[in-house]
Structures are given as structure tokens and as C-alpha cells.
Structure 1
Amino acid sequence: MNFTDQEISEIREHGLTEKQVASQIKLFENGVPNVKLIAAATISKGIFKLSEQEELNYREIYEHKKKNLEILKFTPASGAASRMFKSVFKFLNDYDAEKETVNDYLERAGSNAMKLFFANYEKFPFYDQIIDQLDEEELATESLKKYAFIKKMMNEDGENFGNLPKGLIPFHYYGSYSATAFEEHLYEAAAYAERDDHAKLHFTVSPEHKEAFENEFSDIESSVSTSTNTNFEVSYSFQKPETDTIAVTPDNKMYRKEDGSLLFRPGGHGALIENLNDVDADVIFIKNIDNVLINSKIQDLAKSKRMLAGVLLAKQEQVFEYARLLDEDSITGSELKELLKFLENEFSTRISNEFDSFSKEEKKSYLMNILDRPLRVCGMVKNEGEPGGGPFWVADKEGEVALQIIESAQVNTKDPKQEEIFKNSTHFNPVDIVAGVRNYKGEKYNLLDFVNPDLAFIANKTDGGNEIKALELPGLWNGAMALWNTLFVEVPLETFNPVKTVNDLLKPSHQA
């Protein structure tokens, strides 16, 4: 593909190469291939369900081993809260205070979300914080009060919640103060990701929000440290501009903004594999910013997280021993049989039918290729109808079958068999991951070597009212980790409490 000098200049200024952009345009032209689902992963068929004793054993493994390990909690937190307040924004746009009461509007608009909001708004963790800012005139009638509450909550001269990062929205009210999602992650880290009363956390944030996160940490560090007896080390990173992708028109031509310049868009959370690749630790806990629990439930969550970490360390120890034996060319015949059983039983690996005919060197190379990869243990919860991805057996273009986390957008729902497999999944992906990113020698993997670039997403968007096509990179826990070794373990549904809309804060799990 030929680019003009001006286009080359814009591409390079953005940190991209012409080859990368040409490759992205080719994806738009050819379309992103759908995944081929073989079956949903279920209990005993891809998902481990542990007994209470097994869970206890794995927690003890983690507690014993963590004394000599570097531990990190990695939290994607760059998302703004705008989608969380979608129904509230619509209310502000549609409601005319001079012509109708709030109740009149609710009946006219039929907004169940806003009906639920106003029926329970005294239960929101920020209720007192906002009410205290309203004057007598704004509190004169119930309708005026509700409208003033919304304006103070959303407008720039008020709390400006819609433009804040989700991590800085008050999520829980404890009688005398409200805690943000960011603060709750500190409490979580103290409960399961600390070593020697020290916890390291890394948040991916937007550049414009970094100072606000730093100010929040400055405000709460002393109180959280005192109550948890933990010192916190918090670091931040931004999504890299070079992970942005070119936007195109519906007929796959490079889209130009009103000023004539090319439009580059953020590549989605899959771009954060670069940020994850830039950090290092023996055990990395990965969890979204909006999935937090109230303080009284954190110890239950911590049990689950420590169990997952114990599974990681136990299986990793076996992987490391087998990798060492292969690397030193000292594996015995009985140990080789053990390794094959280990891969089949623990990692659900399907060994090649031609393995027995391989030479000794071919067997070693084949097995090392399977073992020598980053390892992730993913918690899975029973499917309760939440939208999003789940665990599946998937065949790649070579026909190799492996366990993957798959989103609905990756599935050809026009194929009845594929749709049936997806709909019949028993478990859901809560983004509850514990990762090991080092090999048996302690060397860190280059995680970019284990991404499947074919598992990208194409989405229809708009820019200034114009239709465009946008490319999202393979998702962080989907295609970006497609070539990792993967274990799925069932975790309690109670550990999954995301806040996707403001009304989710009314659920019992967020009411302290």
C-alpha cells in the first residue's frame, strides 16, 4: 500500500509504522476471522472445581511460598465513568424542569433505570456528599431536589462524575465516609497481595486522570495503611499511543477528520498487554477497577485469590521442573510419561497423534514449546446471565484445540451450531486472573510474543456524525493471552461484583 508523504509523517508522529497501518487496513478489508468454538469449557472438562480441602492446600502453598516472591496487583483503570451514567445523561438531555415534574418525565419516558435510581437514590454512597451542597431553593420540592441532585452530580461545576475515571467514583458508604473503587483495591491488596506488610499496585490510567489518582492516594494512604498495617507502593502507566489503530470509512479508506488529518483511535484494553509487559513480578493479580467488594466481604474474596495464586505456584513448580529436565536433556522415560499425563490432565493439552513417531530432539522441542510460555490461572463464575465472555475449547486455523476466553463479538452467531455452543456455556469470565510471566530460570517472557493478532475486533463507530470502522486489538484476556498456558478454576459468584451502571451500586453486595 502506498502512502503520501503527509500520511507517512502523521503515521510516524503517532509512533506507528506504515507496515502496521497497512496491516490494520488489510484486516478491515478482509475482515477479522471468527473463532471456531468446539465446546464450552465445563466442570471437569476444562474447568477445575476444587474441594474445600484442596482450596485450603493451595492457600497454604501461596502463604508459604510468597515470602520469597515479588507480588503485584495490576488493575486496568483508564476507563471513564461516562457509560456508567448513560441513563443519567439521557435524563439531563431530555428533561425540561420548566414544563414537567421529574415524576411526569419518568412516566413519559418510561425509563426504568431512572425510576430505580430515584426510588433508591438515598442509598447511593455519594448521596450525603451531594445533598449537603444543595441550597434551600433547590430542596424546596421533591422534584426540584431530584433535578438539582442530578445536576450537582454530573455537571462540571459539581461532582462531574460522568467525566471522572470510574476508579474515583465513590462506590461504598461506611457511615462516616465514602470509599472509591480505587481505595477498595488498596484494601484488597492488603488482604491477599502483600508481602512483609508491603503491597505493590499498578494502575493503567489516562494521562489526564493520573494527577487525580495521585491526589486520591495522597488523601487516603495514611488511613488505609494504618487500618491494614500495610505500606503501599503505587505506580501508574498510560496506554501507549503506538497501540492506537487507524480509523477507516465504511468502504475501508483511511478516515479523515474535518481538518484533513487521519484519525487514530485507542486500541481497546488489548493494548494494555504492552503495559503488563512493562511490569514484572513472580505473581501478578489482574482484576478490573469496577469489580470490588465492601470491606466486610474482602476476607472471603482474599481466600479465593490466595487459592488461585496457590494453584499457579503449584502448577508452575511442576512446569519448571519438567522444563529444566528437558533443557538439561536429563528426562527419563518414566518422567516423560508423567509429563504427557500432566499436560493432558492439568493443562488440557491435546498431544499430537504423531508424537510417538517424533525423534528425541523433536519430542524435546515439541514439549518445550508447550511448557515454555507464560501461565495464567483464571477464576470462572457460574453463568448468571451476565453479558460478556466465557471459557471455551477453541480450534485455531491449524486445527489445534486449546482453552480460551471468548467474547460474543468473536463468534459467528449466524452459524446455529456456533451460537448454540456459546449460549450453552456454564461459566462466565469475571476477569479474575493470576499470572506467572517468568520462565524456570527466572527470566521474564516478552508477552508480545504470545499474542494472536488474528483475534482483533472490528466495531462500527461514529466521528462527528460520520460512520467509521474502528479496530480494537486482541483483548487483554482474549487474543492478547491466546498463546499462554491456561487453567480455569471455578470461584464463588460472590467474588464478582462489577459496577457497569450507577444502579449496580444499589445491589446488596455494594451496600455497606
Structure 2
Amino acid sequence: MQRAEDRCPDTRERNQRDMTMTLQRIFSDQDKAQIEERGLSVEQAMEQIRIFREGAAPLKLNRPCTLQDGIFVVGEEEGGELVRLHEEEAGAGRMLKFVPASGAASRMFKDWYRILDAGGLQDEDSRTKFLRDLKKYAFFEDLKSVLAKAGRNLDDLLEKGDVCPILSTVLAADGLSYGQLPKALLKFHLSPEGSRTAIEEHLVEAALYVKDAQGRCRVHFTVSAEHEGAIQEFLRRIDEIYEKRWNASFDLSLSIQHAHTDTIAVDLEKAPFRDLDGFLVFRPGGHGALLENLNALDGDIVFIKNIDNVVPDSLKPSTVLYKQILGGYLIRLQRRIFSYAARLTEGGLTEDELSEIIAFCRRDLCLSFPPAFNGASLSERCRQVFQRLNRPLRVCGVVRNVGEPGGGPFWVEDETGALSLQIVEEIQVDSNSESQRSLWRAATHFNPVDLVCGVRDYLSRKFDLRQFVNPRAISIARKTEKGRELYALELPGLWNGAMADWNTVLIEVPLETFNPVKTVEDLLRPQHQEK
């Protein structure tokens, strides 16, 4: 049923004015100064609280993307041609790798913290398995060395089944400090040259698919402010080693999530959440805030991949092959898009020429046009087609859905009924609608965050990526802050709402290219154990 305020614009406007006046009274002069110090305006903070009170608008799923209905498959012969295209443009220096790397390792070890709090493993079988598996971790030798410096023998602890000193040494600041480090600096794998951290594995990958003809590899990491110095120092120590080993010149850069992308938190009554000293609490706006970092880069073709999705050398060939296939697919599309965009700006197209471009848009980019499109004049249709083509482009690898948590590809309807391809997270789905939940459960594919992005237009000008965001694709989550519950607001996710108005193409890639590490036990999976 339509609400009274929706039927009457005057009522709706009056309610909005009343809410604005109420929100303005919420903030003290101290609050306003705190807000502005973060680079936010009071109006932005009020708008965020208004979103909390009105709720996030769910997306409307039309159907899951499936093979031949939004998801393309690349054959072997076609793949070879795409690899050639990728190598050609990589050699020309167009490639850059963008790695969100601010994730803390503490979440990986939640089970180990629980065991430590419980005073060890009481179950004999669990204890035996833990002690047996310990030797499989890439950080085992480091653990042994740190214990030895403290006057303890790891072999003795293993023989006695004494779990707590081992866990404490792995996690504590006076040990390996893995409970305080970012994932980027954890040792993930063994290699012929020794153990490698997650960040080192990304350097190796970069040398294999973004290196140009002069050997230059451009890699950008987004990191948390607290770990920026440690990561910079680590990269300085290993840079020369990897340059010699992989015959490359690494152009490495870091950025942190900007404070002005943080969002205000509210309590369970939707009032501003305050710490024990009475100050407003702000929280990071989620990975969608990294759009600012991506937008600030001098990029052209940008690969995006999470810090924890890496494999040892034995599995890299498949990973690299499909990165090259995704890159080649984007380049092939770009060449057609750029040619058509230039032709549209020249003017003078015939109906047949425009029909060819429209067919490309529908067939190759899965684009749809509004109902009134067909009845519009030739010049108006040319304008609309150009507007749809002249956008950032992303080619997303998707894998078969095997139950991993995370988003997936869907056809989504906007308020006009037009369809678009989107990567959707479960929190964006209407939980009160059984039909929408049923569509969510019917997804056949999963988003492994395996993207290659074209961020320049047909004249090689950088797009302003902030112009292609769906600002309504926010999400609200219930969190805790030092034991107190609150609601947190996350900005449109980097590969969700932040790229909602990009041109999107989905390519199926093998499941073996997706190997995230969400818990420390994931490192025991065969994919992370070097053969």
C-alpha cells in the first residue's frame, strides 16, 4: 500500500524538512567540529543518519545470470587470441594491478583465540590434528625460531601436546604478532626460495601478467593507516630481491582509505553513537570507499584482486592464463567501443550503421534500452547509444557457486524496469520477500573479486569514476563497538553499487582460480600447499 506521504509531495517534503531540523539539533558545536575535521560536512552526516532511519532500499532482482544469459564462456581457440591481445597491450604499458590489502589478520585467527581463551584443546583428536597440521604452515620455521629465542623448544611442546604456548607465540605481539598484522604480511606459502607472504605472491603475479616491454610492473596496494609504515618497510626490503628474481622493475605505490569516506555510526534507536567520552563514532565505509583510491590512480587497464586470493607457484599458470583472457576480452571490447564512440561523435550515421552498433550493445555488452528508445529520432538514439557506450568498462570473472559466502551476478531491475548486470551481495536483497530470496538462492555463479577494468574513454581521458555510482546501493549492518551494539553504514561496494553504472561483462573462469584465505585453516587446503 502506498504511504500517505508518497501520495502527497507536500507531505513528503514537510516530513523531510522536519527530519532535517531534528537532525540539525542532534549535533553540538563539538560534534560539528569533529565532523568537519574528518573532511565531512554536517549535511553529509545528517544524510547518513536519515538513511539509517529510512532504511536501505533493496535491489530488485530479476533473475540470476547464467551461462548464455549474461555469462559468456571462452573457448580454447578464442582464449589463445585473447592472450595475444593481452600480451600486446601489457607490453605497451597499459596494465596496473590494484590490490585492496587493508584486511586485518585477526579475523583469520578467531578460532585460535577461542582455543587460547579456553586453555587449550580438550579433545584429544582435535589436539593431535592441530599439532600434526602445524608443520604444514609456511610460518612454522619462524615459529620455531621465535620460541627458541625465548628459551623454549617447539619439538618438546609438540611432544607434550602443549597448545597454548604455541598459539600465544603465533598471535602475541612479543611472538610472531600474527594477531596484530595485516593479512598482507602473513606468510601464506612455501616456495623453492623459502616462505612467501601474501603481498609477495601478488608481486610474483604482477610480474607474470602486468609487466610491460621494459619490465615495468605497476602495482598499487590500499592499506590501513596503522599498517602503512610496516608494509612500506617490508616492500623496501624485498623489492630488489623480486626485481632480480623476476627480471622486473616494480613500480609500487600505497594509499590509505580516506577519512572523509568513513560513515557515522548510530545506536539501536538510530541516534548518533558516541564513545564513553561523548565523541561521535565513525567507522570505515567498507570497500566501496576504495573507489576514491582507484579514481585517484593514473590507470588505464586495472586488474583488481583481493589480498588473500593467491596461490603458490604450482597453481599460478591457470590463474595467469585467465587473467590474460579477461584482459584480452576487455581489450577486444574496448577497441569496438572506442571505434563506435568515435563514429557516433562524428555524426551522419545511417539507420543501418546505428543498427550495427545497437546490436553490438545488446549482444556483446548485454545492454538494454528504455521502452521509448525505438520510437525516438535517429539523432536521439545516437545520443543515447553514445551515452551508454562512453562509460568505464569492467570484465568480471565469475566461478560456479559452491557455497562460498559473498556476492553473485544478477540481472537487476531499476525503477523504470530497465535491466542491467550487477554484482549483488546478500545484504542488498529484500529479506522480507520470499520471491527475491528464492532468486538469490537460485544463483549459479559467484563473484570471486576477479576484475579487469578499463577506466579511460575513447580519447584516452580518465573517467571520473564517482559519476557512475549508484548512491542508493548502501547497506546497513549491526556491529559492536567495545561490547556495545550499533548500526554501521557501508558505502556502495567497490564492485557492487560503486560500479553499478559501468558497462559490465561476465566471463566464467575455473574454480581453481579462486582460493581465498578467510581462516588460518584455509592455508591447509591443497591449493595452498606447494607440491
Q: 2 CA distance for matches of 1:298 and 1:222?
A: 22
Residue 47 of structure 2 aligns with an amino acid whose one-letter code is S
Alignment of structure 1 residues 28-427 onto 2, 5 Å: 28-95=52-119, 102-103=120-121, 105-106=122-123, 117-134=130-147, 135-136=151-152, 139-141=155-157, 142-143=159-160, 145-174=162-191, 177-196=194-213, 197-427=215-445
Q: Secondary structure at the match of 1:258?
A: coil
1:163-186 deviation line (CA, Å, top 9, x unaligned): 100010000013662100000000
Contact 2:395–2:453 under 8 Å retained in 1? yes
Q: 2 CA distance for matches of 1:450 and 1:60?
A: 31
Residue 183 of structure 2 aligns with an amino acid whose one-letter code is K
Q: 1 CA distance for matches of 2:288 and 2:154?
A: 45
Q: Secondary structure at the match of 1:254?
A: coil
Paired position in structure 2 for 1:98: none
Paired position in structure 2 for 1:460: 478
1:186-208 deviation line (CA, Å, top 9, x unaligned): 00000001102110000000122
1:456-503 deviation line (CA, Å, top 9, x unaligned): 110111223222111011111000101100000011111111000000
Shift of 1:218: 2.1
Q: 2 CA distance for matches of 1:470 and 1:414?
A: 20
Q: Secondary structure at the match of 1:430?
A: coil
Residue 165 of structure 1 aligns with an amino acid whose one-letter code is P
Residue 512 of structure 2 aligns with an amino acid whose one-letter code is E
Which of 28, 38, 50 pairs up with 1:14? Answer: 38
Worse-matched range after superposition: 35-44 or 458-467: 458-467
TM-score, normalised by the number of residues in structure 1: 0.95
Q: 2 CA distance for matches of 1:47 and 1:226?
A: 40
Q: Which runs of 5+ in 1 are unaligned?
A: 96-101
In the superposition, relative to structure 1, how do residues 117 and 383 fare at CA in structure 2: closer, same or farther (>3 Å)?
Answer: farther
1:59-79 deviation line (CA, Å, top 9, x unaligned): 111222333342110000011
Residue 357 of structure 2 aligns with an amino acid whose one-letter code is L
Q: 2 CA distance for matches of 1:40 and 1:493?
A: 18
Q: 1 CA distance for matches of 2:255 and 2:136?
A: 34
Contact 1:69–1:283 under 8 Å retained in 2? no
In the superposition, relative to structure 1, how do residues 15 and 115 fare at CA in structure 2: closer, same or farther (>3 Å)?
Answer: farther
Q: Which runs of 5+ in 2 are unaligned?
A: 1-19
1:207-244 deviation line (CA, Å, top 9, x unaligned): 22112112221222222112211110100000000000
Shift of 1:145: 4.2
Contact 2:257–2:289 under 8 Å retained in 1? yes
Q: Secondary structure at the match of 2:123?
A: helix
Contact 2:89–2:95 under 8 Å retained in 1? no
Q: 2 CA distance for matches of 1:411 and 1:153?
A: 39
Contact 1:138–1:145 under 8 Å retained in 2? no
Q: 1 CA distance for matches of 2:56 and 2:374?
A: 36
Shift of 1:446: 0.5
2:507 paired with 1:485: no
Contact 1:116–1:503 under 8 Å retained in 2? no
Q: 1 CA distance for matches of 2:486 and 2:266?
A: 6
Q: Secondary structure at the match of 1:164?
A: coil
In the superposition, relative to structure 1, how do residues 118 and 459 fare at CA in structure 2: closer, same or farther (>3 Å)?
Answer: farther
Worse-matched range after superposition: 297-306 or 429-438: 297-306
2:509 paired with 1:496: no
Q: 2 CA distance for matches of 1:138 and 1:16?
A: 51
Worse-matched range after superposition: 143-152 or 486-495: 143-152
Q: 1 CA distance for matches of 2:240 and 2:301?
A: 26
Paired position in structure 2 for 1:429: 447
Q: 2 CA distance for matches of 1:267 and 1:328?
A: 42
Shift of 1:136: 4.3
Contact 1:380–1:428 under 8 Å retained in 2? yes
Aligned residues: 501
Q: 2 CA distance for matches of 1:201 and 1:363?
A: 40
Residue 131 of structure 1 aligns with an amino acid whose one-letter code is K
Worse-matched range after superposition: 30-39 or 328-337: 328-337
Q: 2 CA distance for matches of 1:470 and 1:61?
A: 44
RMSD: 1.7
TM-score, normalised by the number of residues in structure 2: 0.91
Shift of 1:372: 1.2
In the superposition, relative to structure 1, how do residues 447 and 187 fare at CA in structure 2: closer, same or farther (>3 Å)?
Answer: same
Residue 324 of structure 2 aligns with an amino acid whose one-letter code is R
Q: 1 CA distance for matches of 2:169 and 2:192?
A: 21
1:112-162 deviation line (CA, Å, top 9, x unaligned): 7x7754441110111121023323466545346432221110011001101
In the superposition, relative to structure 1, how do residues 499 and 19 fare at CA in structure 2: closer, same or farther (>3 Å)?
Answer: same
Q: 1 CA distance for matches of 2:482 and 2:369?
A: 52
Contact 1:15–1:241 under 8 Å retained in 2? yes
Paired position in structure 2 for 1:5: 29
Contact 1:121–1:127 under 8 Å retained in 2? yes
In the superposition, relative to structure 1, how do residues 138 and 145 fare at CA in structure 2: closer, same or farther (>3 Å)?
Answer: farther
Percentage identity across aligned positions? 43
Q: 2 CA distance for matches of 1:263 and 1:463?
A: 9
Contact 2:262–2:282 under 8 Å retained in 1? yes
Q: 2 CA distance for matches of 1:191 and 1:68?
A: 15
Q: Secondary structure at the match of 1:277?
A: helix
Contact 2:469–2:501 under 8 Å retained in 1? yes
Q: 1 CA distance for matches of 2:269 and 2:356?
A: 54
